[in-house]
Protein backbone atom coordinates (compact mmCIF):
# COMPACT_ATOMS: atom_id res chain seq x y z
CA UNK A 1 0.00 0.00 0.00
CA UNK A 2 1.45 3.38 -0.93
CA UNK A 3 2.15 6.10 1.61
CA UNK A 4 -0.59 8.30 0.16
CA UNK A 5 -3.18 5.53 0.55
CA UNK A 6 -2.11 4.89 4.14
CA UNK A 7 -2.24 8.61 4.90
CA UNK A 8 -5.69 8.89 3.35
CA UNK A 9 -6.92 5.90 5.33
CA UNK A 10 -5.54 7.27 8.60
CA UNK A 11 -7.08 10.66 7.90
CA UNK A 12 -10.49 9.08 7.21
CA UNK A 13 -10.39 6.99 10.38
CA UNK A 14 -9.33 10.04 12.39
CA UNK A 15 -12.22 12.09 11.03
CA UNK A 16 -14.69 9.34 11.90
CA UNK A 17 -13.36 9.08 15.45
CA UNK A 18 -13.43 12.85 15.89
CA UNK A 19 -17.01 13.10 14.62
CA UNK A 20 -18.13 10.34 17.01
CA UNK A 21 -16.41 12.00 19.94
CA UNK A 22 -18.06 15.33 19.11
CA UNK A 23 -21.47 13.68 19.12
CA UNK A 24 -20.75 12.05 22.49
CA UNK A 25 -19.34 15.29 23.88
CA UNK A 26 -22.47 17.22 23.00
CA UNK A 27 -24.40 15.22 25.62
CA UNK A 28 -27.34 14.92 23.25
CA UNK A 29 -28.85 11.48 22.83
CA UNK A 30 -29.66 10.18 19.37
CA UNK A 31 -33.40 10.54 19.82
CA UNK A 32 -32.99 14.13 21.04
CA UNK A 33 -31.03 14.92 17.89
CA UNK A 34 -33.72 13.37 15.71
CA UNK A 35 -36.40 15.34 17.58
CA UNK A 36 -34.41 18.50 16.98
CA UNK A 37 -34.42 17.70 13.26
CA UNK A 38 -38.17 17.02 13.32
CA UNK A 39 -38.73 20.51 14.76
CA UNK A 40 -41.85 19.53 16.65
CA UNK A 41 -42.16 20.31 20.37
CA UNK A 42 -44.24 17.16 20.89
CA UNK A 43 -41.45 14.85 19.72
CA UNK A 44 -39.45 14.57 22.95
CA UNK A 45 -42.48 14.06 25.22
CA UNK A 46 -43.83 11.42 22.84
CA UNK A 47 -40.64 9.35 22.76
CA UNK A 48 -39.19 9.90 26.24
CA UNK A 49 -41.21 7.14 27.90
CA UNK A 50 -39.88 4.39 25.63
CA UNK A 51 -36.60 3.22 27.22
CA UNK A 52 -35.49 1.43 24.06
CA UNK A 53 -35.73 4.67 22.08
CA UNK A 54 -34.12 6.86 24.71
CA UNK A 55 -31.19 4.49 25.24
CA UNK A 56 -30.49 3.63 21.58
CA UNK A 57 -26.74 3.74 20.93
CA UNK A 58 -26.82 3.80 17.13
CA UNK A 59 -29.15 5.03 14.40
CA UNK A 60 -30.03 1.54 13.19
CA UNK A 61 -31.41 0.59 16.62
CA UNK A 62 -33.07 3.98 17.01
CA UNK A 63 -34.79 3.70 13.63
CA UNK A 64 -35.89 0.13 14.42
CA UNK A 65 -37.39 1.11 17.78
CA UNK A 66 -39.09 4.21 16.36
CA UNK A 67 -40.61 2.21 13.50
CA UNK A 68 -41.92 -0.40 15.96
CA UNK A 69 -43.39 2.39 18.08
CA UNK A 70 -44.87 3.97 14.93
CA UNK A 71 -46.47 0.70 13.86
CA UNK A 72 -48.05 0.32 17.31
CA UNK A 73 -49.44 3.86 17.19
CA UNK A 74 -50.70 3.33 13.62
CA UNK A 75 -52.58 0.22 14.75
CA UNK A 76 -54.18 2.26 17.55
CA UNK A 77 -55.02 4.91 14.97
CA UNK A 78 -56.63 2.38 12.66
CA UNK A 79 -58.88 1.10 15.45
CA UNK A 80 -59.92 4.66 16.25
CA UNK A 81 -60.60 5.46 12.58
CA UNK A 82 -62.70 2.31 12.18
CA UNK A 83 -64.79 3.49 15.14
CA UNK A 84 -65.16 6.95 13.58
CA UNK A 85 -66.14 5.39 10.24
CA UNK A 86 -68.97 3.54 12.01
CA UNK A 87 -70.12 6.67 13.85
CA UNK A 88 -69.87 8.82 10.70
CA UNK A 89 -70.55 6.44 7.79
CA UNK A 90 -69.22 8.61 4.99
CA UNK A 91 -66.97 7.63 2.10
CA UNK A 92 -64.25 9.95 3.41
CA UNK A 93 -64.07 8.31 6.81
CA UNK A 94 -64.25 4.82 5.28
CA UNK A 95 -61.29 5.76 3.07
CA UNK A 96 -59.54 7.27 6.09
CA UNK A 97 -59.76 3.98 7.98
CA UNK A 98 -58.47 2.12 4.91
CA UNK A 99 -55.59 4.58 4.54
CA UNK A 100 -54.39 3.53 7.99
CA UNK A 101 -53.76 0.01 6.70
CA UNK A 102 -51.37 1.51 4.14
CA UNK A 103 -49.73 3.50 6.93
CA UNK A 104 -49.13 0.33 8.96
CA UNK A 105 -47.77 -1.45 5.88
CA UNK A 106 -45.40 1.45 5.17
CA UNK A 107 -43.96 1.33 8.69
CA UNK A 108 -43.50 -2.45 8.45
CA UNK A 109 -41.86 -2.12 5.03
CA UNK A 110 -39.55 0.61 6.28
CA UNK A 111 -38.39 -1.60 9.14
CA UNK A 112 -37.74 -4.48 6.75
CA UNK A 113 -35.64 -2.30 4.46
CA UNK A 114 -33.36 -0.73 7.08
CA UNK A 115 -30.37 -2.93 6.25
CA UNK A 116 -30.72 -3.64 2.53
CA UNK A 117 -32.20 -0.36 1.33
CA UNK A 118 -32.21 2.45 3.90
CA UNK A 119 -33.12 5.02 1.24
CA UNK A 120 -36.36 3.17 0.49
CA UNK A 121 -36.94 2.77 4.24
CA UNK A 122 -36.72 6.54 4.56
CA UNK A 123 -39.22 6.97 1.73
CA UNK A 124 -41.64 4.46 3.29
CA UNK A 125 -41.38 6.17 6.67
CA UNK A 126 -42.27 9.47 5.03
CA UNK A 127 -45.22 8.19 2.96
CA UNK A 128 -46.63 6.48 6.06
CA UNK A 129 -47.79 9.99 6.95
CA UNK A 130 -50.08 10.16 3.91
CA UNK A 131 -52.86 8.28 5.72
CA UNK A 132 -52.97 10.60 8.73
CA UNK A 133 -52.79 13.58 6.37
CA UNK A 134 -55.80 12.31 4.43
CA UNK A 135 -57.67 11.70 7.69
CA UNK A 136 -56.88 15.20 8.96
CA UNK A 137 -58.47 16.58 5.80
CA UNK A 138 -61.51 14.33 6.32
CA UNK A 139 -61.94 15.59 9.88
CA UNK A 140 -61.61 19.20 8.76
CA UNK A 141 -64.22 18.67 6.03
CA UNK A 142 -66.61 17.17 8.60
CA UNK A 143 -65.96 19.99 11.11
CA UNK A 144 -64.62 17.47 13.61
CA UNK A 145 -61.38 18.20 15.48
CA UNK A 146 -58.41 16.18 14.28
CA UNK A 147 -57.95 13.53 17.02
CA UNK A 148 -54.74 13.25 18.99
CA UNK A 149 -53.96 9.74 17.71
CA UNK A 150 -54.01 11.00 14.12
CA UNK A 151 -51.63 13.82 15.03
CA UNK A 152 -49.35 11.35 16.82
CA UNK A 153 -49.17 8.98 13.84
CA UNK A 154 -48.40 11.89 11.51
CA UNK A 155 -45.64 12.98 13.90
CA UNK A 156 -44.08 9.53 14.24
CA UNK A 157 -43.97 9.28 10.46
CA UNK A 158 -41.89 12.45 10.41
CA UNK A 159 -39.70 11.24 13.28
CA UNK A 160 -39.15 7.87 11.56
CA UNK A 161 -38.15 9.71 8.38
CA UNK A 162 -35.45 11.66 10.21
CA UNK A 163 -34.20 8.59 12.10
CA UNK A 164 -33.94 6.41 8.99
CA UNK A 165 -32.35 9.26 7.06
CA UNK A 166 -29.21 8.79 9.21
CA UNK A 167 -28.65 5.29 7.81
CA UNK A 168 -27.25 6.31 4.44
Q: Give the CATH number of the domain where residue 135 resides.
A: 1.20.140.40
Residue 9 is assigned to a structural domain of this protein: no
Using a 10 angstrom Cβ sphere, with 0-12 exposed, 13-18 middle and 19 or more buried, the burial of residue 49 is exposed
Residue 144 is assigned to a structural domain of this protein: yes
Residue 7 is assigned to a structural domain of this protein: no
pLDDT 10s digits, 68-109: 999 999 999 999 999 999 999 999 999 999 999 999 999 999
How far apart CA 22 and CA 137 sit, in angstroms, is 43
pLDDT value, residue 113: 98
pLDDT 10s digits, 31-69: 999 999 999 999 999 999 999 999 999 999 999 999 999
Residue 35 is assigned to a structural domain of this protein: yes
Is the pLDDT confidence value at 13 over 60?
no
Domain range for 129 is 29-167
Candidates 82, 165, 72, 167; CA nearest to 126 is: 165
Look up the pTM and report it.
0.83
pLDDT 10s digits, 154-168: 999 999 999 999 999
Residue 3 is assigned to a structural domain of this protein: no
pLDDT value, residue 27: 75
Residue 15 is assigned to a structural domain of this protein: no
pLDDT value, residue 2: 63
Residue 43 is assigned to a structural domain of this protein: yes
Q: Decide: 112 and 141 in contact? Cβ < 8 Å.
A: no
Residue 5 is assigned to a structural domain of this protein: no
Q: Decide: 148 and 45 in contact? Cβ < 8 Å.
A: no
Is the pLDDT confidence value at 17 over 80?
no
Least confident interval from 7-21, 81-95, 118-132: 7-21
If one counts the domains in the chain, the total is 1
Mean local confidence (pLDDT), 4-31 = 54
Mean local confidence (pLDDT), 16-43 = 76
Average pLDDT of the residues of the chain:
90
Mean local confidence (pLDDT), 118-129 = 98
Amino acid sequence: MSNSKVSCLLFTVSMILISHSLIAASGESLYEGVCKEAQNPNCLPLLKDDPRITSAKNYFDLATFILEFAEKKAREGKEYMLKIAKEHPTERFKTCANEYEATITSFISAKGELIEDPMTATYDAKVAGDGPEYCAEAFTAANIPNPLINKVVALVSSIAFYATNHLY
